[in-house]
Amino acid sequence: MCGIIGCNGVSAAVPVLTLGLERMEYRGYDSSGIAVIADGKTEITKKKGRVSELINALRFKPQATAAIGIGHTRWATHGEPSDENAHPHQSGKFTLVHNGIIENHTELKEQYLKLTKMKSDTDTEVAVHLLNRFYSDGCLKALAHTARLLEGSFALAVICEEEPEKLFCVRQSSPLVVGLGEGTYAASDTAAISEKIHTLYRMDDGEIAVLEKDKIEFYDFELNKIRKAPEKFEKSSYASDKGNFEHFMLKEIYEQPEAIRRTVDAYLNENGFNLGLKPQKPERIFIVACGSAYHAGLVGRRIFESLAKIPVSVETASEFRYSEPLVSEKTPVIIISQSGETADSLAALREAKKRGAKTLSIINVKESTIATESDFVLLTRAGPEIAVATTKAYGAQLSALYLLGIYFAESFGTADKKELEKMKKALTDLHKSVSAALNCEEQIKEIAHRLRHIDRAYFIGRGAGFAAASEGSLKLKEISYIHCEAYAAGEMKHGTISLIEKDTTVIAMNTQTALAHKLQSNIDEVRSRGARVIAVTSADSKISADETITVPEVHPLFAVSTQIVPVQLLSYHIARLRGCDIDKPRNLAKSVTVE
Ligand code: F6R
């Protein structure tokens, strides 16, 4: 959450910063700002609202020919979204941007800044006043002094009129990379600077970087010099184009088959698996993730337990990290994350490692912190995902879990070999069925039109169908703001069925062919109390409801992958008809880098 960027030694800093902010807007979009030093003076522009409003505001200022600057796009944690709370923040000659949370900001203010009048309600402002207060013998010393005092998570980019040829960066528990190209650059995400750099340095926690126009030096917080290995950075073109689609979300739903094909093909071909992993049958596997990635984990549990006969615990990372988890060297931990930067998932990974567990992460962003710190990484090949609500990355995560499940079963000899061969073939072809599932869009548009005014919905399912229901419910609520709940279908009658009345919308996910008749009973129970039920089902399974959306038949273990498609489309079309900001839903950010 929040994206920071900095550049030095460039011909025009403003466009570099604003382009980078546009690309990192997924990290937060309630306000944004930049600061540049031009002719020895700092110029700050910041605005509540989207980066486009910042760009508008900059139009009315003479475009500074500054070579150095910093920028920020915000997801508010302390202080409401406003011009005053937007970053950069300034004190004396120092200006800074911050991603993270300074947890001891109240104590620091009390101890060092009693007489300082704060201009904002942010935790961040304390840091810039501390820099100003500790400045006596160079910016670097002031920065190290300040960094030693701060607690919590902070990635900082700092400029100072006293040393206008240097950009200072600090990393502690919030992502930050720096790189060299025509000038030097820093960003929360490489996407912001991807075609500017040829050399990348990954900063570690507890490090300071000093970026001059053509070199970067690293220090720890005691100001000992650190030597860091440079990495060659492959320039990438940024997928900022919506093509013919109205929103990134719809484009990404349509890219889902390709994301699945690329993920499967990367690790499975006619010669078998090439995962580069030699698993030993563990006592138990833990799967830990947040949000949709957690829902993918729920599907993973079904796969691992049924194929590889390994007991699996699936936990949300925010609970796992503080639960004194019973993990050890005998219980590997799988972390699932699109961004690879989610703060709770990263903390869970570190907790698991501390307890001696081997860690495997399923990650979409290769350069991310979780990918870097995991013992083994299975990269999903969904490509950059821009819409805040995940679709294609979730689809790719499911495929990665299918790959692992089949591979574990093969390695441990826990499933019939012929059956496993059939599954491999089915997995290789899965993208075709997911692509065919997209054909339901016209039917979905009609349903969306009917449902556009509902104020609540229930998603039900059994087994993996409950996992699919959980994801469907999250998708609809996060982008359309309709209150939704997901329920294990058999649980409804233990309380929640009392909420069903005439015309209540219930969406039933029938992924478990073998349990279709059980789900049918639950559908009948809610229909007889007035609910209007829309069933999502595979072609081979008969279900009777008020309306049925039928997707192609696939191997029963993979049914979530096809059945999630109509639900993603339904969420999209309902949100569109309600006029919601689909790609950037309110209060959310794509990369949740705070607790
Ligand atoms: C929902 C969504 C979120 C993420 C969650 C984890 O559409 O995108 O629930 O799945 O914030 O993010 P990652 O996968 O980046 O760890």
Query: Residues with Cβ within 6 A of ligand 1?
Result: 290-293, 337-339, 342, 345, 389-390, 474, 478, 592
What whole-number percentage of the chain has pLDDT above 90? 90
Q: Which of 140, 37, 122 is nearest to 83 (CA)?
A: 122
Q: Which amino acid is at 269?
A: N
Q: Which amino acid is at 199?
A: T
Q: How far is the CA of 340 from the centre of ligand 1 (A)?
A: 10
Instruction: Give 248-297 pLDDT, tens digit per residue.
Output: 999 999 999 999 999 999 999 999 999 999 999 999 999 999 999 999 99
Instruction: Give 494-543 pLDDT, tens digit per residue.
Output: 999 999 999 999 999 999 889 999 999 999 999 999 999 999 999 888 89
Which two structure tokens, joined as six digits, stand for 96? 């800074």
User: For strand 272-273 and strand 268-269, is the pairing parallel, antiparallel, or unpaired?
Assistant: antiparallel
Question: How many H helices and E strands in the chain?
Answer: 17, 27
Instruction: Give 165-180 pLDDT, tens digit per residue.
Output: 999 999 998 999 999 9
Q: How far is the CA of 151 from the centre of ligand 1 (A)?
A: 26
Q: By mean pLDDT, which of 131-135, 239-243, 437-441 is the weakest?
A: 239-243
Q: How confident is the model at residue 450 (pLDDT cuts 50, 70, 90)?
A: very high
Number of other residues whose CB lies within 10 A of the CB of residue 214: 12
Kindly list the distances between the CA atom of residue 78 and the CA atoms of 31, 51, 128, in Å, as whole numbers in the listed order: 13, 20, 15
Q: How far is the CA of 337 from the centre of ligand 1 (A)?
A: 7
Contact between 177 and 186 under an 8 Å Cβ cutoff? The reply is yes
389 Cα nearest atom in ligand 1: 7
Separation of alpha carbons 73 and 30, rounded Å: 8
Average pLDDT over residues 135-144: 97
What whole-number percentage of the chain has pLDDT above 70? 99
Q: How confident is the model at residue 240 (pLDDT cuts 50, 70, 90)?
A: low
The enclosing H or E element of 30 equals none
Residue 7 falls in the annotated catalytic set: no
Instruction: Give 92-117 pLDDT, tens digit per residue.
Output: 999 999 999 999 999 999 999 999 99
Kindly list the distances between the CA atom of residue 577 and the CA atoms of 13, 336, 338, in Å, as whole numbers in the listed order: 40, 32, 28
- As a three-state string, the secondary structure of 363-386 is ECCCCCHHHHHCCEEEECCCCCCC
Cβ burial of 523 (10 Å; 0-12, 13-18, 19+) is buried
3-state secondary structure of 513: helix
| Protein residue closest via CA to atom 10 of ligand 1 | 292
Residue 590 falls in the annotated catalytic set: yes
Catalytic residue among 2, 169, 440, 580: 2
Residue 241 is predicted with a pLDDT of 75
Residue 237 has pLDDT above 80, yes or no: no
Separation of alpha carbons 286 and 314, rounded Å: 6
Q: Which of 292, 320, 398 for a ligand 1 pocket mutation test, highest count of atoms within 8 Å of Cβ? A: 292
Residue 61 is predicted with a pLDDT of 79
Domains of the chain with CATH codes: 3-232 (3.60.20.10), 245-428 (3.40.50.10490), 438-580 (3.40.50.10490)
Residue 239 is predicted with a pLDDT of 60
The enclosing H or E element of 471 equals helix 464-480
Instruction: Give 201-219 pLDDT, tens digit per residue.
Output: 999 999 999 999 999 999 9
Q: How confident is the model at residue 238 (pLDDT cuts 50, 70, 90)?
A: low
| Protein residue closest via CA to atom 3 of ligand 1 | 291
Instruction: Give 354-375 pLDDT, tens digit per residue.
Output: 999 999 999 999 888 999 999 9
The pTM of the full predicted model, rounded to 2 decimals, is 0.87
Number of other residues whose CB lies within 10 A of the CB of residue 136: 8
| Residue-averaged pLDDT of the chain | 95
Separation of alpha carbons 463 and 226, rounded Å: 51
Sheet of 89-91, strand order: 89-91, 94-102, 152-160, 167-172, 207-211, 216-220, 225-226
339 Cα nearest atom in ligand 1: 15
Catalytic residue among 93, 251, 475, 590: 590
Torsion of CA 444, 450, 455, 456, to 10 degrees: -50
Residue 540 is predicted with a pLDDT of 82
| Protein residue closest via CA to atom 5 of ligand 1 | 291
